[in-house]
Amino acid sequence: MGHKIWLSSPTMHGEEQIFIKEAFDTNWVAPLGANVDAFERDMAAYIGIGHAAALVSGTAALHLAVKLAGVKPGDVVFCTDLTFSATVNPVSYEGGIQVFIDSERDTWNMDPRALEKAFQKYPNCKCVVVANLYGTPAKLDEIRAICDSNGAILIEDAAESLSATYKGRQTGTFGQYNAISFNGNKIITTSGGGMLLSDDEETIKKARFWATQSRESCPWYEHKELGYNYRMSNIVAGIGRGQLIHLDEHRTLKKKIYETYKAGFSDIEAIEMNPFLECSEPNFWLSCIKIDPSKSNVKPEDITAILAIANVESRPIWKPMHLQPYYAKHDFITLCAKGHSIGGEIFEHGLCLPSDVKNTEADMLRVINVVRDVFGVEQLDVLEKVLAFA
């Protein structure tokens, strides 16, 4: 059976402990300190954005982004439909009302044409939240242009796409406010954490203020605004500094995993890998497949069940938000006929495969052969014959 092959588990390298030790040695075991400052500075420089606020989670970053965008109770906010719930929940924290926008087939992300249709129906919408699914950039130029022409603020949820680029520019820079995450299974992790990114220094300062309980600079505890306890700890930021050193290396390994799956399934016509645009370079956070039901009767659940027996973790595609019981009353904008959606189709026929940067050639061969077996195609002996997995 062999050892467990994980979807995407943390990969630590050692430098993390040096930065943590520094925090201990100086007794800055607090939600501020040198690691937090340096992690914010280094991450902003890496991404190429003016300012960053380190927070307890990507969700906290998205919450403050929604607050900065000025979303008020009753305001409509257009959101990516096919994503993790953390993309959209913060809208509710501020009393906004999500209207979900269907995906397109080229990147599985928000469809700009459906977004345009949404603005025709809700011309007063002033905020859009777009996510880059599984590390693949959305059609960001088109989405940004539609937001601009409608006077709406764009929030980019780059939680899954850290280090991916679109037309040479890093994701996490396309919105007025942008969020990234360092949760346990992301491309780099701090165990838990996130950052809010913006070119506008004042708004990042405001976010840091809200994140430290909105405490006024005053000898006593004075509060004019509602506050939150959202700041990242100096210990956690130490892990982040150590991880950032290895971000590019992780992306290179993730890309290799994606290309290996692609080659390993190239003779199975029913399988499509999660697609991306020529003008973008995903971070390949998770490699996914979609099965064409006109070419095969194999269901993603069949593959998951057999992978589990082989001690391999896999995961369903995010269930679209418009299909979630919690959001059942919310409007959904799609170009499909009633009752259909592209997001729903990807959910029904798609599957996330193990994309752990620690995967070895033997691990990849094991996963590929299980999947090949389910489709009734012959096993591969070694990867190198067909692939470039060095």
Ligand X SMILES: *Cc1c(COP(=O)(O)O)cnc(C)c1O
CB of 263 to ligand X, least distance (A): 27
Asked if residues 371 and 365 have their Cβ atoms less than 8 Å apart, the reply is: no
Q: What is the DSSP string of 329-344?
A: TS-EE-SSPTT--HHH
Nearer to ligand X, 118 or 232 (CB): 232
CB of 108 to ligand X, least distance (A): 12
Nearer to ligand X, 111 or 363 (CB): 111
Residue among 390, 358, 357, 367 nearest 380 (CA): 367
* DSSP 8-class letter at 197: E
Which burial class, exposed, middle or buried, applies to 297 when counting CB atoms under 10 A from its CB (0-12, 13-18, 19+)? exposed
Nearer to ligand X, 157 or 281 (CB): 157
Question: Which H or E element spans position 306?
Answer: helix 300-309
Q: Which residue is nearest to ligand X (CB)?
A: 58
| Chain positions contacting ligand X, by CB under 6 A | 57-59, 83-84, 86-87, 131, 157, 159-160, 181, 183, 194
CB of 191 to ligand X, least distance (A): 10
Q: What is the DSSP string of 350-372?
A: EEEEP--TT--HHHHHHHHHHHH
Nearer to ligand X, 83 or 341 (CB): 83
CB of 289 to ligand X, least distance (A): 19
Nearer to ligand X, 35 or 59 (CB): 59
CB of 302 to ligand X, least distance (A): 26
> What residue has token string 């070895």?
360
Residue among 195, 373, 380 nearest 298 (CA): 373
Nearer to ligand X, 239 or 298 (CB): 239
Strands across the sheet with 280-281, in order? 169-170, 165-166, 280-281
CB of 131 to ligand X, least distance (A): 5
Residue among 29, 132, 49, 126 nearest 83 (CA): 132
CA pair distance 13, 211, nearest whole angstrom: 30
CB of 159 to ligand X, least distance (A): 4
Asked if residues 11 and 250 have their Cβ atoms less than 8 Å apart, the reply is: yes
Nearer to ligand X, 152 or 159 (CB): 159
CB of 211 to ligand X, least distance (A): 14
Nearer to ligand X, 84 or 108 (CB): 84
Q: Are strands 76-80 and 153-157 parallel, antiparallel or unpaired?
A: unpaired
* DSSP 8-class letter at 52: E
CA pair distance 320, 312, nearest whole angstrom: 25
Nearer to ligand X, 44 or 387 (CB): 44
| CB neighbour list of residue 205: distance below 8 Å, 6 or more residues apart | none
CB of 181 to ligand X, least distance (A): 3
Bridge partners of residue 193, in order along the sequence: none
